[in-house]
Amino acid sequence: MTAVRRAVDQADLQGNILCGYGRRYRHGLFLFLRVEQAARARGWLGARVAEVRSALPWSEPPPHTLNFAFSHAGLACLGVSQQVLDAFPEEYRQGMAARWERLGDSGPSHPDRWMAELREVHLLVTVSARRRSVRDARRERLETEAREAGLSVAAALETDVLEDEREPFGFRDGLSQPSIRDPRAGPWRRTTADPPVAVGEFVLGYEDEGGTVSPAPPELGLNGSYLVVRRLEQDVEGFWQFIADEAGPDPARREWLAAKILGRWRDGTPLVLSPDRPEPGRSDDLGWLNDFTYAHDFDGFACPIGAHIRRTHPRDSLHREWRFADRHRIIRRGMPYGSTSGGGERGIMFACYQASIERQFEFVQSEWCAEGHALGLGSDPDFIAGGSEGKMTIQGRPPTFVPMRSFVTNRGGDYFFVPGLAGLRRIADAGA
């Protein structure tokens, strides 16, 4: 489709896609619903549209936000026409479970072993709140309303930002997000090392990095986006025991090995800027934490070529002008879940937005994480998001080889469509 340049319609775009709500909203809810009575469910959706948070700037931050997303099966259950349903891309129509082989979701991550609550869901309601009590009250109200509106609650999964904004393994998280080539569309600090990306890489109806507009379903496509959600359980104790076994008793050596696997020190300091030690005096500077390329580290002696952050966002490793990497960017909006004191399940509710699930999330997961051929690493997977067989190579003289182990398990998820507010109203009116 020929590109049509236009400014982002923030009034129609659902919030949290481009601009994000920020870490002030420390408490989240992923409410997964199933449609039991379509007409009543559509009526409830229509009544809630006015409460949905758009991307318009706030005069004052609200106490909580509300947003909606739909699986392909959910749109069908709600009465969206077959013509529109057939216009969605194949990967969205099939859903995540059917794509397990491409994603490397084998063994403990196979769909047969997913949480039963996360199979065959139709509607995802997300809430972000500044206080836990507000989130909990909103959850109670939403569950009651949904049941009264012909929807059943499949799962209500809560998330919370951890201390120092760390993920369960203990590393600073959410540091690297794409800058958007629209001055209103994203608050991220611009750096010369991280060029901004076209809006159309994340929102349908706008020009992308290829100079075209991604195909979109009629009636619903404009200002829509695709959301990938995965409940990734992390074996925290197992990970750090593995680090201890491989690195030995020296704490500094353990920190070195963990940093080499991730590509950053625990405080977020990137190895490519400080390969020998973290820089706590600069770790609060988000601009500095992302103001780097791999132009002077092509051999991986500072940051290993197979480090997690380098595999998921190669920057200029594959093309000096970023042209290859920028076609595969995603915007991450996940949040940790589980106890911080040990015991019970812990992990990340992974969530990311993009205009093409296949070209963006699935490509990164399959081509850069599940194997390493594109990066010159053969079949070796990413240590964090890859499989459990193979090795990680830490470049050096001599190199260090780390046997592969898997400490992250996908417990379920799906692909969702996030319509613009006008599209949301059309879905609510689908059976009218």
Residues of the chain with pLDDT > 90: what percent?
77
The runs of H, that is alpha helices, within 251-407 are: 251-262, 286-289, 308-312, 363
Name the β-bridge partners of 231. 349
Q: Per-residue pLDDT tens for 380-397?
A: 999 999 877 889 999 999
Residue 188 tokens read as 């991220």
pLDDT of residue 307 exceeding 70: yes
pLDDT of residue 19: 85
In this prediction, residues 408-425 reach a mean pLDDT of 97
Q: What is the pTM of this model?
A: 0.95
Taking a C-beta distance cutoff of 8 angstroms, is the pair 177, 188 a contact?
yes
**Cα–Cα distance, 89 to 93 (Å, whole number):** 6
pLDDT of residue 177: 87
Name the β-bridge partners of 34. 152
Sign of CA dihedral 363, 366, 369, 375: negative
Q: Find the helix packing angle between 421-428 and 38-48, rounded to 10°.
A: 150
The runs of H, that is alpha helices, within 224-278 are: 236-247, 251-262
pLDDT classification of 416: cutoffs 50, 70, 90: very high
pLDDT of residue 22: 84
Q: Where are the domains of the chain?
A: 27-232+413-428, 234-326+368-410
pLDDT of residue 63 exceeding 90: yes
pLDDT of residue 35: 98
Phi, psi of 417 (to 5 degrees): -105, 130
Residue 363 tokens read as 């490509």
- What mean pLDDT is reported for the chain? 92
Residues of the chain with pLDDT > 70: what percent?
95
Q: pLDDT higher for 186 or 200?
A: 200
Residue 15 tokens read as 């919030």
Phi, psi of 47 (to 5 degrees): -75, -20
Q: Per-residue pLDDT tens for 331-372?
A: 999 999 997 666 689 999 999 999 999 999 999 999 999 988
Q: Per-residue pLDDT tens for 73-90?
A: 999 999 999 999 999 999
Phi, psi of 153 (to 5 degrees): -85, 115
In this prediction, residues 413-420 reach a mean pLDDT of 98
pLDDT classification of 181: cutoffs 50, 70, 90: confident
**Cα–Cα distance, 266 to 172 (Å, whole number):** 6
pLDDT of residue 188: 53
Q: pLDDT higher for 185 or 140?
A: 140
The runs of H, that is alpha helices, within 53-94 are: 72-77, 82-86, 90-94
pLDDT of residue 117 exceeding 60: yes
